[in-house]
Amino acid sequence: MAAQDEPPPRRLSPAIIRAEVDHGTAELIADPDRPLAWTLLVNDTAQSHVDLSDPTHLEFEYVRRLGHVLDAAAPPTRPLRVLHLGGGAWTLPRYVAATRPGSWQRVVELDGALVDLVAARLPADGLDLDVRVGDARYELEQVPDGSVDVVVVDVFAGARIPSHLTSVEFVRGVARVLDVDGIHAANLADGPPLHFARAQVATAAAVFPELALLASPEVLRGRRFGNLVLAAGRRPLPVRELTRAAAADPFRARVESGRELCRFAAGAQVVTDRTAGPSPVPPPGFFGRPAE
């Protein structure tokens, strides 16, 4: 008799877990294709995807691109000092802990009840994460000068980036905490005609001399709404490495830098605390729940 295939691992918890958190309703939805993976939604907006059995698996396109920036920030496996503004389900902190053991990481999340839910249902035991509950800009001000290698900004209130995290004053705060070789990496969201993204590039350029932008060609051409990852620093960025990684990724992306990025942001005004506004409202369902 031929041996039967072993059944896939069984989940020990329901396929959907709902909980009230400080800013609405959170849901953890089981990934039907990965037995120990979950998608976190808050108020029907997808925030994170985590595979507890493989923290190096990055499901979302923009998270993969932020991962490329982290991969290129230093030689492989070298520990990094990373400040994550925006926690979600701690996808990138788990990734850094797996790929760069010994890294120092602080995670800032505004929603304390969400932090408790993630800690209970998607535990990150042994990763030595310093998780702080608080506003991203306030917590940034508590970080010592020059003490961080990478600042990852991935903060959304609902489906929009809060206005106080889009200004040149905020970017100056990021620059203050970064080491001279450090990298500012921000997740942006925008659609045609990309006014918000162009203004964010101009704002970062007012603080940092070196910039790069990673996004799908369709988003860069203004054909659809999507995520764009902005990287900035005082020293030349690893553009060649980012370009190779973006081209080889299953979700192929382009990397704009130098003159091309200057043309992209031409005419855009630097955003200040007085003029700042949140990112645009995405199309209905853009950040919605995963397909069953």
Cis peptide before 193 (omega within 30 of 0): yes
Q: What's the pTM?
A: 0.94
The token pair at 85 is: 């503004």
Sequence length of the chain is 292
140: helix, strand or coil: helix
Sketch the domain layout of the chain as residue ranges: 55-264
Report how far residue 222's alpha carbon sits from residue 75's, in angstroms, rounded to the nearest whole number. Answer: 34
Which amino acid is present at 286? F
How high is the pLDDT of residue 284? Answer: 85
Whether 274 and 31 have beta carbons less than 8 Å apart is answered as: no
> β-strands 16-21, 24-30: how paired?
antiparallel
Report how far residue 139's alpha carbon sits from residue 131's, in angstroms, rounded to the nearest whole number. Answer: 11
* Helix (H) or strand (E) run with residue 152 in it: strand 148-153
Q: Which of 101, 66, 269, 277 is nearest to 184 (CA)?
A: 66
Strand partners, 215: 254
Q: Which of 33, 32, 65, 59 is nearest to 46 (CA)?
A: 59
Q: Give the CATH number of domain 55-264.
A: 3.40.50.150
What are the pLDDT tens digits along the chain (292 aa)? 344 444 444 444 579 999 999 999 999 999 999 999 999 999 999 999 999 999 999 999 999 999 999 999 999 999 999 999 999 999 999 999 999 999 999 999 999 999 999 999 999 998 999 999 999 999 999 999 999 999 999 999 989 999 999 999 999 999 999 999 999 999 999 999 999 999 999 999 999 999 999 999 999 999 999 999 999 999 999 999 999 999 999 999 999 999 999 999 999 999 999 999 999 999 987 766 665 5
The token pair at 173 is: 């705060």
